[in-house]
Chain A
Amino acid sequence: MIQFEKFELANGLKVIVHQDSSTPMAVVNVLYNVGAKDEDPKKTGFAHLFEHLMFGGSVNIPVYDEPLQRAGGENNAYTTNDLTNYYCQIPAENIETAFWLESDRMLSLAFSEKSLEVQRKVVCEEFKEHYINKPYGDAWHKMRELAYTKHPYRWMTIGASLAHVEDAKMQDVKDFFFQFYRPNNAILVVTGNVTTAQVKQLAEKWFGPIEAGKLYQRNLPVEPVQQKSRSMDVRADVPLDMLMMTWHMGGRMDARYHATDLLTDVIGGGATSRLYEQLIKVKQIFSSIDCYHFGAVEPGLVVIEGKLVKGVTMSVAEKAVMDEIELIKNTLMPMNEVQKVINKTESLICFEDMSIMNRAHSLAFYELLGDANLMNQELEKYQLVTPEILQQTAQEIFQDNQRNTLYYYSKS
């Protein structure tokens, strides 16, 4: 049970405080409710490029990192399709430095041309390192475009193409900032050796004077229900054939979310999962195979991806996977298999909650979903999942007309 207190400033900034006096540290986490899904389809990769620019100096502070490092702190950030999250860990005694820095970049960036020019290049190198100069690096670009026709999960956070990042203009940067980086579109979480009274005073002092922005009304295109299965062949200079399949699933607040999570664990989460045992160990059709899901806010994808043992044909591999899927759909799972994945999840939650950093990330994420306290109800929701619910969930998700398949062949 993670205890916390919550309040809101007049400008709409939500603030959550979780006190843990056993640590000398504190974490200041600012989540902005903007991700790659909010981008213009012609200017993708922007939310992530923007995250880089947030370190290029703010209106009153030329360099973000230096004062933080001088105060013994460190920081980082990440962008997903759903959100952008900034966090720093700092000795609790110096926490005001983090408030000063974070509030100044929420107030306004410096909008330096030099920073934009350099970060465009840095992000292009990041794009190359992770998506071009890497075997199968383009697989997810292709799969997203196959599985989504309308919804902005069509593109990855890094952007649909290098050209979009290269073309980013200063005016785009400014528009993006003043649309999304406003206090009423953000959640501030402070965890560690702090008190609520102290955080209240600091939040009022540093974030209070920032003006609210126009409230962002998210209106994303809805993905139409897929009527026919889709597939794509890829041939590339990779050593092994790869099979990747996806099916549509509900969003993070969907009633079936917890069952879906457990289902993917049963199918392909680790060494006792069905795909691992049957297809790697018993039948030796795959050299690696996993089943997982997006865990995204909007309706996401359940994924099965594996690399084929050399000499095995794609059709044999595909059939072997589908046989396992049929089995899950047609037979009730033994109770102890369900208990196992619930126990694994309980363990995962406990280990995750060990650090004040993870607690801060989780509180911010659940507050984004609607209520930070959802964090404390997760385990209970998993424990309510039964073999019957898992079977129904499998039948709903694994429909053939809802499937997208990428056949990724080795040229050699």
Chain B
Amino acid sequence: MALDRLLAPVIKDAIDFDIQLKPYQHFVLDNQVEVYTYEGGAEEVMLMDMVFFAGNTYEQKNWVAAATNFLLKNGTTQKNAFEINEAFEFYGAHLSRNCYNETATIALHCLTKYFKEVIPVVGELIAEANFPDKELMIYQQNLIQRLSLNLKKGDFIANRLIDEYLFGIDHPYGKYALEQDYKNVNKEDLHRFYDTYYKQGKCIIFMAGKFPGNMQELLNNHIGQLPLNKKEIPAVMHPIVSATQKKYSVINDAESVQGSIRIARHFPNRHHPDFAPTQVLNNIFGGFFGSRLMRNIREDKGYTYGIHSYLQNHVQSCAWMISTDAGKDVCKPTMEEVYKEMKKLREELVDIEELKLVKNYMLGGLLGDLDGPFQIIGRWKTYILNDLNEEYFYKTIDIVRAIQPEELKALAEKYLKTEDFYELVVY
């Protein structure tokens, strides 16, 4: 029998998949630091992700949180920066740090067999960092240079400005560093921040991969004896001060051949009942390669290499963002098309086949996103840091499975109103 290539193979709908979030293990170190683990995977590798409540929410002076996070690896009372790096790299281990708004992390990726060699150095960084003047000076100088380079890029400027319009320049989500901010920070600022938010700060540990047999003991010996969890996290509340003007056009480079477009509005955080269903609406709108924005503006009109919309993942308050770089001469029509797509979602019911496709895509993607120990612990980390539990996971899946076009239209009417959006083009 000849093969009929017009006939698609039978598929199992992803909405019928049994998607499980595998449970974590949990234990507490002697100093009350909580540890969440997920053991698994075929390779002899592991991840230890230490979360401190040391984001820029807690800094008194711009850039202190980020600088402390970066420089705590550049000197301790026992080792200089080179020796610290060498202590990790010799064993092929990688220690990265990242500073966010609420939290800052120190993450160790290493071969299982070398965990015992590198964990003492991690402990040393949390207990004995000493922020040498020279390290701060070099970091400031190099960052100022990097900033001068970034300020040439329209997309960099656009990302900063749109957050400033939404949240205000004094809010952790809206602020950014200028050259003067880098210069203003001194060693004492770093020490003070470090003592409060790292050395004695609140810490939660997430681990995944293959563990050595004595992992708990090693962790307890090298982290569990440190004076962590001594300070309460201060209750800070930064008011959101949004710009009153909604539309902006900025010329950064007169020779630019493209414009960086950002269109955004406020959106509630994960705890709001609209958050999960809006993820479905967002996917239809601009959340993946087959979204309406991509099909219309890239695949039909060729105005851009890519256009995306997404819900930011802030803890306190989020934004719904549309982001693209488009040819200079087609920026205006690009924005018009974005608003047309919003209008269509407000006025017309989403086709049932299109909705089914998006549901399957989302749930199939979720199955893939949970594939592997690092991915599983990453999901748990997001939940734990946002005060959510596995009920949220299953409820979200149920919402995706069940949502109907009428509900999506109601959400679009509520949130995709043109007049609510901030609009920015940087040329």
> A residues near B, CB below 8 A?
20, 22-25, 59-61, 65-67, 69-74, 89-91, 93-94, 96-97, 99-100, 103-104, 107, 117-126, 128-129, 132-135, 205-206, 209, 237-240, 270-272, 277, 280-281, 284, 287-288, 307, 309-310, 336, 339-340, 343-348, 350-351, 353-356
Which residue of chain A has the shortest Cβ distance to B259 in the bound complex? A133
Is there contact, CB below 8 Å, between A129 and B110? no
Q: Is B352 interfacial (CB-CB < 8 Å)?
A: no
A159 vs chain B, min Cβ distance (A): 14
Contacts of A339 in B (CB 8 A): 90
Which residue of chain B has the shortest Cβ distance to A119 in the bound complex? B302
A-B pairs with beta carbons under 8 Å apart, 27 shown: A22-B42, A25-B367, A65-B290, A69-B288, A74-B288, A94-B9, A100-B9, A103-B5, A118-B302, A121-B301, A125-B303, A125-B326, A129-B325, A133-B256, A135-B153, A238-B149, A271-B85, A272-B82, A340-B86, A340-B92, A344-B92, A345-B92, A346-B92, A350-B44, A354-B41, A354-B372, A356-B371
Neighbour of A281 across the interface among B9, B82, B92, CB < 8 A: B82
Q: Is B12 interfacial (CB-CB < 8 Å)?
A: yes
Is there contact, CB below 8 Å, between A350 and B12? no
A69 and B288 alpha carbons, distance in the complex (Å)? 10
Which residue of chain B has the shortest Cβ distance to A96 in the bound complex? B9
Contacts of B152 in A (CB 8 A): 135, 237-239
Q: Is B160 interfacial (CB-CB < 8 Å)?
A: no
Give the interface segment out of B227-235, B338-346, B354-362, B385-393: B354-362
Contacts of B45 in A (CB 8 A): 347, 350-351, 354
Contacts of B258 in A (CB 8 A): 125, 128-129, 133
Neighbour of B91 across the interface among A93, A271, A343, CB < 8 A: A343
Q: Is B218 interfacial (CB-CB < 8 Å)?
A: no
**A270-B82 contact given A120-B302, A125-B305, CB 8 Å threshold:** no
**A351-B109 contact given A20-B42, A67-B8, A120-B302, CB 8 Å threshold:** yes
A273 and B386 alpha carbons, distance in the complex (Å)? 39
Is there contact, CB below 8 Å, between B361 and A70? yes
Neighbour of A347 across the interface among B94, B360, B367, B368, CB < 8 A: B94
**A107-B5 contact given A65-B290, A354-B45, A355-B372, CB 8 Å threshold:** yes
A343 and B42 alpha carbons, distance in the complex (Å)? 19
A128 and B329 alpha carbons, distance in the complex (Å)? 13
A-B contact count (CB 8 A): 212
Kindly supply a per-residue 1/0 record for chain B positions 68-82, scoring 1 wherever the CB is within 8 Å of any chain A CB and 0 otherwise.
Answer: 000000000000011
Is there contact, CB below 8 Å, between B365 and A354? no
A66 and B301 alpha carbons, distance in the complex (Å)? 19
A348 and B91 alpha carbons, distance in the complex (Å)? 11
Q: Is B364 interfacial (CB-CB < 8 Å)?
A: yes
Neighbour of B145 across the interface among A61, A103, A133, A240, CB < 8 A: A240
Neighbour of A343 across the interface among B90, B303, B374, CB < 8 A: B90
Which residue of chain A has the shortest Cβ distance to B327 in the bound complex? A125
A65 vs chain B, min Cβ distance (A): 5
Is there contact, CB below 8 Å, between A336 and B90? yes
Is there contact, CB below 8 Å, between A69 and B89? no
Is there contact, CB below 8 Å, between B357 and A69? yes
**A24-B371 contact given A90-B364, A135-B152, CB 8 Å threshold:** yes
A9 and B167 alpha carbons, distance in the complex (Å)? 59
Which residue of chain B has the shortest Cβ distance to A95 in the bound complex? B9
Contacts of A287 in B (CB 8 A): 141-142, 145-146
Contacts of A72 in B (CB 8 A): 11, 13-14, 17, 360-361, 363-365, 367
Q: Is B257 interfacial (CB-CB < 8 Å)?
A: yes
Is there contact, CB below 8 Å, between A272 and B305? no
Which residue of chain A has the shortest Cβ distance to B135 in the bound complex? A281
Interface positions of B from 202 to 240, Cβ below 8 Å from A: none
Q: Is B196 interfacial (CB-CB < 8 Å)?
A: no
Contacts of B3 in A (CB 8 A): 205-206, 209
8 additional A-B pairs beyond A69-B358, A94-B11, beta carbons within 8 Å, are A22-B40, A72-B11, A118-B298, A118-B302, A238-B149, A309-B141, A347-B45, A347-B91
B83 vs chain A, min Cβ distance (A): 9
Is there contact, CB below 8 Å, between B89 and A91? no
A235 vs chain B, min Cβ distance (A): 14
Contacts of B151 in A (CB 8 A): 239
Which residue of chain B has the shortest Cβ distance to A339 in the bound complex? B90
Is there contact, CB below 8 Å, between A23 and B371? yes
B106 vs chain A, min Cβ distance (A): 15
A347 and B358 alpha carbons, distance in the complex (Å)? 37
Which residue of chain A has the shortest Cβ distance to B363 in the bound complex? A72
A105 and B424 alpha carbons, distance in the complex (Å)? 40
Contacts of B257 in A (CB 8 A): 128, 132-133
A64 vs chain B, min Cβ distance (A): 10
A93 and B7 alpha carbons, distance in the complex (Å)? 18
Q: Is B317 interfacial (CB-CB < 8 Å)?
A: no
Contacts of B154 in A (CB 8 A): 133
**A346-B111 contact given A122-B298, A209-B3, A271-B85, CB 8 Å threshold:** yes
**A129-B371 contact given A239-B145, A287-B141, CB 8 Å threshold:** no
Q: Is B148 interfacial (CB-CB < 8 Å)?
A: yes
Contacts of A270 in B (CB 8 A): 85, 89
Is there contact, CB below 8 Å, between B299 and A118? yes
Q: Is B300 interfacial (CB-CB < 8 Å)?
A: yes
Contacts of B327 in A (CB 8 A): 124-125, 128
Is there contact, CB below 8 Å, between B148 and A97? no
Contacts of A309 in B (CB 8 A): 141-142, 145
**A66-B142 contact given A343-B92, A354-B45, CB 8 Å threshold:** no
Q: Which 8 A-B pairs have the closest CB atoms?
A: A72-B364, A121-B302, A347-B92, A72-B14, A343-B92, A96-B9, A239-B148, A126-B305
Neighbour of B8 across the interface among A100, A134, A348, CB < 8 A: A100
Is there contact, CB below 8 Å, between B368 and A89? yes
A94 and B114 alpha carbons, distance in the complex (Å)? 40
Contacts of A129 in B (CB 8 A): 258, 305, 325
Is there contact, CB below 8 Å, between B368 and A135? no
Which residue of chain A has the shortest Cβ distance to B146 in the bound complex? A287
Is there contact, CB below 8 Å, between B145 and A280? no
Kindly supply a per-residue 1/0 record for chain B positions 1-31, scoring 1 wherever the CB is within 8 Å of any chain A CB and 0 otherwise.
Answer: 0010110111111100100000000000000
A29 and B257 alpha carbons, distance in the complex (Å)? 35
Q: Is B402 interfacial (CB-CB < 8 Å)?
A: no
Q: Is B419 interfacial (CB-CB < 8 Å)?
A: no
Is there contact, CB below 8 Å, between A239 and B290? no
A309 and B45 alpha carbons, distance in the complex (Å)? 38
Is there contact, CB below 8 Å, between A240 and B89? no
Which residue of chain B has the shortest Cβ distance to A239 in the bound complex? B148
Neighbour of B300 across the interface among A100, A118, A345, CB < 8 A: A118
Interface positions of B from 32 to 55, Cβ below 8 Å from A: 40-45
Which residue of chain A has the shortest Cβ distance to B258 in the bound complex? A133
A187 and B364 alpha carbons, distance in the complex (Å)? 26
A288 and B13 alpha carbons, distance in the complex (Å)? 49
A99 and B9 alpha carbons, distance in the complex (Å)? 9
Is there contact, CB below 8 Å, between B82 and A121? no
A24 and B367 alpha carbons, distance in the complex (Å)? 7
Q: Is B281 interfacial (CB-CB < 8 Å)?
A: no
Is there contact, CB below 8 Å, between B364 and A237? no
A370 and B154 alpha carbons, distance in the complex (Å)? 44
A307 and B152 alpha carbons, distance in the complex (Å)? 15
Q: Is B304 interfacial (CB-CB < 8 Å)?
A: yes
Q: Is B289 interfacial (CB-CB < 8 Å)?
A: yes
Interface positions of B from 254 to 268, Cβ below 8 Å from A: 255-258
Contacts of A281 in B (CB 8 A): 81-82, 138
Contacts of A132 in B (CB 8 A): 257
